[in-house]
Amino acid sequence: MKHKLMWLIILQIGIFQLALADTVEPIRSISEHSREIHSIAISKDGRYILTGSSDSTVKIWDTSSWDEIRTYVHGSDVTSVAFSQDGRYALSNSYYNLNMKLSNVSSGEIIITMEHGGYVNSVALSPDGRYALSGSYDQTMKLWDVSSGEEIRTYKGNGRVYSVTFSPDGRYILSGSGDKTMKLSETDKGGYIRIYKGHESYVLAVAFSPYGRYALSGSGDKTMKLWDVSSKKEIRSKGIKNLCTP
């Protein structure tokens, strides 16, 4: 099966819809969750979709058959999910349980649980699969060794951390936080090397461009901003209607 570029549209009634990017017309609607879907991820090869929900479950879907192939019960709201680059592992948070879990996609086994100690808003896996990130309501971001589950480093002074991600080469980390900024860190060092200012409310979502030259931020001020990563220059700002705030 050939996988085209797709958009995912999340509806806050436990339903997600899949649409082709060139038409924006839904080609599939799935409604197996009983509460809001907070996060969706697609494996790099396009074979699987992850969904995380307030019904305390993570579900894995096969995109060739659209069958639900596995459900993980977390016991708390799941607000962030991520695949490893090779699609073998899934990372998901358990919000009120203050942790995140790494699971084997094929077997369904939960391999390791990493205890953040605060409400976890966002999770990410490094491109090489060696590290995991957790961003928390407790105003910290933590870097973890996936093989051991050990905490490597804590980044403080962020405000509440709403979104985290790795650069495509894994050398850098972006975080969006409650102090209205986006921050850039080096994966192998502590602290922040660049701070991007310009939003007027919480930064709720961050992302790198495919080659890491640019970054995007989405905020509670209902704007999305495009940044030059190296110069910190704001290139463009776009207003967005009906952006949800925490």
State residue 190's pLDDT score.
Answer: 82
What global pTM score does this model have? 0.86
Q: Could you tell me the residue ranges of all domains in the chain?
A: 38-239
Q: Quote the tokens at residue 52.
A: 């995380």
Class of CATH domain 38-239: mainly beta
State residue 32's pLDDT score.
Answer: 77
pLDDT one-digit tens code per residue, 7-24: 444 444 444 555 444 555
The closest of 132, 118, 121 to 205, measured between CA atoms, is 121
Return the amino acid letter for 178: G
State residue 8's pLDDT score.
Answer: 45
Q: What order do you get walking across the sheet with 68-73 strand by strand?
A: 37-42, 48-53, 57-62, 68-73
In this structure, what DSSP letter does residue 96 have? G
State residue 183's pLDDT score.
Answer: 97
State residue 9's pLDDT score.
Answer: 42
- Mean pLDDT, the chain, rounded, equals 87
